[in-house]
C-alpha cells in the first residue's frame, strides 16, 4: 500500500519536500541576513557616530522587516502563488487592519515624526505632560524614558507627539532662580549686595548672559530677592544645591533675617455688646 502510494505520488512528494526545504533555507537565510544587517548598522553607528541613537533601533527593525518581506515573496513564488492577487488581498486586508489598529498605527506615525523632527535625542532630559525622564530609546510604538529615581517608563509615541515637549538638555545651558526672603525691616540693598557678591564669586556661572539680582516680589511675610544665573547642563543641579545652602548662610552672616510666614490678627470688641452682656449677668 505504501509502496504503491509512493510509486504513484513520489514525484509530487519529492517536489513538495524540495519546496519545503527551499522555504526553510530562505527563512534561515533571511534570519542570518537580518541579524547581519542589524549588526552592521550598529557597528557603523558606533564607528562613525553620525546617527542619533534613537534612530538606530528604527533602522534595524525596518531593515529586518524588508528582508523578511522579500523572503516571503520568494516563498510565494516557489509555490506558484499569484502575487498580484495576494497584493490586492493584502491591500483590502490592510484597510480593515488599519481601522482596527488605528491607535497602533498612530503610534508608528508619531514615532516617525519624532525621529525626523527630533525634538529630543537619546540622553536628553525631557518633560512630556506629567512625565519627566531621560530618553533611552524611541522605537516604532513607544518611547522609553528613565526617571530621576530609576523608574522605567514606556510612553506611546502618539501621547508624546500630542503633548508639549520640554527639552531641558537641548540648548546646552539652563537658568536657575534662587529666591530668598528677608524681613520688611531689613535693608534690601544689603541683601542685593550679598547676592551680587555670590554671583561674582561663583565660577560655574556663565558670564554671557550675565547673572542678575532683583527684588522679585513683596510677599505676605517677606521681601523676596532673586538671584538669576546661567550654567551648563552638566553643572546645573550641583550649582543649584550649593547656592541654596550658601545664600542662606551669607544672608544670615550679613545680619539679615529670613522670616517665617506670619499673620497679624486684630480682635475688635463692640463696647455696646460687652455692656449688655454685663447687665444681663
The domains of the chain, with CATH numbers, are 2-100 (1.10.287.1260), 120-167 (2.30.30.60), 173-253 (3.30.70.100)
- Please tell me the predicted confidence (pLDDT) of residue 122: 84
Q: Summarize the confidence of residues 180-186 as an average pLDDT.
A: 93
pTM score, two decimals?
0.61
Roughly what angle, to the nearest 10 degrees, separates helices 102-117 and 83-100? 90
CA 104 to each of CA 29, 69, 115, 142: distance values in angstroms, whole numbers, following the listed order: 30, 20, 17, 10
3-state percent breakdown (helix, strand, coil) of the chain, nearest 5: 55, 20, 25
Q: List, for residues 133-171, the tens digit of each pLDDT value.
A: 999 988 778 889 999 899 999 988 888 888 999 999 999
Amino acid at each position: 500500500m505504501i509502496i504503491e502510494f509512493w510509486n504513484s505520488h513520489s514525484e509530487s512528494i519529492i517536489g513538495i519536500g524540495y519546496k519545503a526545504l527551499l522555504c526553510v533555507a530562505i527563512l534561515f537565510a533571511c534570519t542570518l541576513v537580518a541579524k547581519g544587517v542589524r549588526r552592521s548598522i550598529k557597528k557603523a553607528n558606533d564607528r562613525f557616530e553620525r546617527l542619533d541613537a534613537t534612530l538606530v533601533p528604527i533602522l534595524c527593525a525596518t531593515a529586518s522587516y524588508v528582508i523578511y518581506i522579500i523572503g516571503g515573496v520568494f516563498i510565494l513564488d516557489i509555490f506558484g502563488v499569484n502575487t498580484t492577487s495576494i497584493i490586492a488581498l493584502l491591500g483590502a486586508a490592510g484597510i480593515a487592519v488599519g481601522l482596527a489598529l488605528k491607535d497602533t498605527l498612530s503610534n508608528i506615525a508619531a514615532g516617525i515624526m519624532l525621529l525626523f523632527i527630533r525634538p529630543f535625542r537619546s540622553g536628553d532630559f525631557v518633560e512630556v505632560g506629567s512625565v519627566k525622564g531621560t530618553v533611552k530609546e524611541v522605537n516604532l510604538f513607544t518611547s522609553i524614558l528613565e526617571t530621576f529615581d530609576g523608574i522605567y517608563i514606556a510612553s506611546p509615541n502618539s501621547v508624546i507627539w500630542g503633548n508639549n515637549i520640554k527639552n531641558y538638555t537641548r540648548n546646552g545651558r539652563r537658568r536657575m532662580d534662587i529666591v530668598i526672603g528677608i524681613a520688611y525691616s531689613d535693608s534690601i540693598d544689603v541683601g542685593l549686595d550679598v547676592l551680587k557678591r555670590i554671583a561674582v564669586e561663583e565660577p560655574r556661572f556663565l558670564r554671557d548672559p550675565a547673572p542678575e539680582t532683583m527684588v522679585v516680589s513683596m510677599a505676605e511675610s517677606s521681601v523676596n530677592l532673586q538671584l538669576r544665573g546661567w550654567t551648563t547642563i552638566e553643572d546645573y543641579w550641583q550649582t543649584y544645591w550649593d547656592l541654596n545652602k550658601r545664600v542662606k548662610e551669607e544672608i544670615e552672616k550679613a545680619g539679615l533675617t529670613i522670616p517665617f510666614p506670619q499673620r497679624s490678627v486684630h480682635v475688635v470688641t463692640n463696647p455696646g455688646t460687652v455692656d449688655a452682656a454685663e447687665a444681663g449677668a
